[in-house]
Every structure is written in structure tokens, then in C-alpha cells.
Amino acid sequence: MNAVIEKSEPMSNNFKKLQAQIRGQVGKAIEDFKMIEAGDKVMVCLSGGKDSYTMLDMLMSLQRRAPIDFELIAVNLDQKQPDYPEHILPEYLKLLGVPYHILEQDTYSVVKRVVPEGKTMCGLCSRLRRGSLYTYAAANGVTKIALGHHRDDIIETLFLNLFFGGKLKAMPPKLLSEDGRNIVIRPMAYVAEREIERYATARKFPIIPCNLCGSQENMQRRIIKNMLRQWESEYPGRSENIFAALCNVVPSHLADPKQFDFASLRNLREITPELLASFAAVEKDTTAELP
């Protein structure tokens, strides 16, 4: 069956370059953050959207090439949304030949009952979905939970927290879940959404739209997404610079005393000339004239 799938994939040079680029970015993220280790059982959370389909493709490709052995299991949560095409994912996953499991839980009714009409549903929906997936993972020997968030999701979350939450916080590529039972990884943390869109179009994934929230134009995330797209059109490369900043944090030049011991700066003068020189270098770098 895998051979059938491979023959149906577009194999133009542009597609092969794009595939290699995304696979390389996913592989680098996995290596940089030690996301997958020998013997891991990785649960690939599959929603039926372009991001999770692409993530599954990349992890299956890397699994075939990796010098270590690890398992993959694709897991989808059927939230009992009206007109949900429940046959699509099982048929697709059988064709791929990847182990999979479909969870069934009516979170749709809960969200519709609890969230007032016109309010954003994604927050409650995602919490309920996470709870179901985390519970399944803990009960089935899963060691890593892979989510399909990409670089743009991480940047958008940074600005959501900055503008609406008063926090300098984004999505980490790897974290311990709040219940302490699961390690969550985001293998596509380095991949731009526009490249995923190109890849998904070329692969002709059987996309399943989310009918729960529909197109809630007032969602804060949508506002942030539009802002970033406007910035990128005016200043190409800005998104890359923002993400690079997230990977190059200088706590001593922010204002959080929990992250940097400002109270001890007086004592630092007496430690070593080398340490003072390092502070001076940082100061010079951050005050340099911008182009």
C-alpha cells in the first residue's frame, strides 16, 4: 500500500526540494530539543488539517531514515461535530499502513452548551481535546505527544500573550504537560506555515475542516495572524527575525527579577574581569545602531 501512495505523490523537482526542506527543518528541531529518543512511543495527534498531515508525513519519513528505533501511532479525536466525515481518517491511515486509534468523545456538545453564542470556542475546545489525548497517552505507554504547531503558531502565541496577557511567553518546542504525565513535542517548530500549505496542496491531503468554530473573524489569533502577514508583506523576513529572537533571549536585558538576579549586580563587579567583559559585550550588542 505504501508503494501506491508513493506513486501518487507529485515528484517534481520543486516538490522534492520542498519535501527535503521541511524534513530537514523537522529533523533539526528534533535534534536541537532532543524531542525523540531511542525506544520512544510517539503519539502523533492527527486533526485532519494540513499541519498534522504534514507532521505525520515527516515523522514517518524520518522514522525510516533514523539511526534509532521509535514507534509512531496516529491518534484522532472524533468530537462528534455534525456532518463530521468519520470515515476519511481511518481509510487514509489504513492506506498509509501506520498504527492508529480513533478516540470518540462528544466535546462538541459541551462547547456549544458552555460557550455563549458569538464567543471564541477554541480555548475550551482545545482544553477538552488535550484532556482526552493526554489521558489516552498516559494509559497506553506513550512517551511523547507530537502536536502539529508550526513556527507561525509560535510567533502568533507570543503576540497573543504580549498584547492580551501581559506575558512574554510563546509555545515551547518541548514541554512537560501541566499534569506532569506527558512530554509534548512540536516537531514543526522551525517550519513556516506557507511551506506547509504548499506541501499539503501538492500532496492533496484529504483535509477535514473544523465545523465547530467555523470562521470566527473576531478571534484574537486571527487578528494577530493578519497583522503578521501584513508585516511580512511589507518587510519580508520579519517573521524569521522574530522567531530568531525567541531562540536568543537575554534575561539580563528584560525586567523580570525572577529570571535574573538584579539584586546581586553590585557583587558581580568583584567576581572576574571576564564576567564584566561579557556584560559589556552584551550591552554593546544591544545598543548598536539598527539598520
Residue-wise pLDDT tens digits, 234-275: 999 999 999 999 999 999 999 999 999 988 887 666 656 666
According to the model, what pLDDT value does residue 2 have?
40
Task: Say how far apart CA 243 and CA 34 lie, in whole Å.
Answer: 19
Angle among Cα 58, 185, 55 to the nearest 5 degrees reads: 20
> How much is the CA Rg of the chain, to the nearest whole Å?
22
The upper half-sphere exposure of residue 55, i.e. CA atoms within 13 Å in the direction of its Cβ, equals 32
Q: Report the alpha-carbon distance of residue 176 to residue 171 in Å, rounded.
A: 12
Given pLDDT bands bounded at 50, 70 and 90, which one contains residue 48?
Answer: very high
Instruction: Tell whether the model's pLDDT for residue 80 goes beyond 90.
Output: no
- Looking at residue 273, what is its pLDDT? 65
So what's the pLDDT on residue 84? 80
Using CA of residue 253, residue 254, residue 255, residue 260, what is the dihedral sign? negative
pLDDT level of residue 9 (50, 70, 90 thresholds)? very low
Write out the CATH class of domain 2-243: alpha beta
Between these two residues, 274 and 90, which has the higher pLDDT value?
Answer: 90
CA distance 148 to 70: 18
Q: What residues are paired with 76 via a beta bridge?
A: 102
- The separation between the first and the last C-alpha atoms of the chain, rounded to the nearest angstrom, is 54
Q: Where in the chain is the domain with CATH 3.40.50.620?
A: 2-243
The residue among 27, 74, 58 whose CA lies nearest residue 203 is: 58
pLDDT score, position 112: 65
Residue-wise pLDDT tens digits, 137-170? 999 999 999 999 999 999 999 999 999 999 999 9
Cα angle for residues 213, 54, 50 (degrees, 5° grid):
25
CB 58 within 8 A of CB 26: yes
Report d(CA 182, CA 162) in Å as an integer.
27
The whole-model pTM stands at 0.83
Q: Give the lowest-confidence range in 29-33, 199-203, 243-247, 273-277.
A: 273-277
